Amino acid sequence: MHILTAFIFLALSSGAAAEEFKTVVFDIELVDTSQAAELGIRNDQIQRLQLVSDELRTLLQASPQIELIDTAPKREDVTQKAPLHKCSGCAEDLAKDLGADLVVSGIVQKTSDLILSFAVTIKDAHSGKIVRGGQADIRGNTDESWLRGIRWLVKNRLLAEPISVTP
């Protein structure tokens, strides 16, 4: 009986609480390579970027491994350094300044109103090493298609397995 009790304890404790990471999630950025790019970013795209950025935060925060850190104290720095996908490590620097272990950032690339693609990475804020990443192609430039894309990406790529950071 004691052996069974010990086995159950070990089985439960080994899968118990996974490590929790302080995480900064920056807003998704638009990379518009469509013919309409020269007209500038449209209001509906600005709203969709906020919609999927908020959804990304909500989905990640539901993970027991993620503790979100507010980016408000560095909002001015983020604005100055934007777009973050072109700033060569500044996202990691901003995350470290906020006390984060991980930094999540990404883009949605718009090839046309029909063809779009999300790419999101989770990086170690200290080393800059990619811990997890993924890409999802979507068809259609609607709220529903953007949300479906970010939800699929989080479920099937970013949180498909427990997050692990190796030194």
Q: Is the pLDDT of residue 2 over 70?
A: no
pLDDT tens-digit readout, 78-114: 999 999 999 988 999 999 999 999 999 999 999 999 9
Task: Express each pLDDT in 27-84 by its tens digit.
Answer: 999 999 999 899 888 999 999 999 999 999 999 999 999 999 999 999 999 999 999 9
Strands (E), the chain: 21-25, 29-32, 66-68, 102-110, 115-124, 130-139
The residues with which 132 forms a beta bridge, in sequence order, are 122
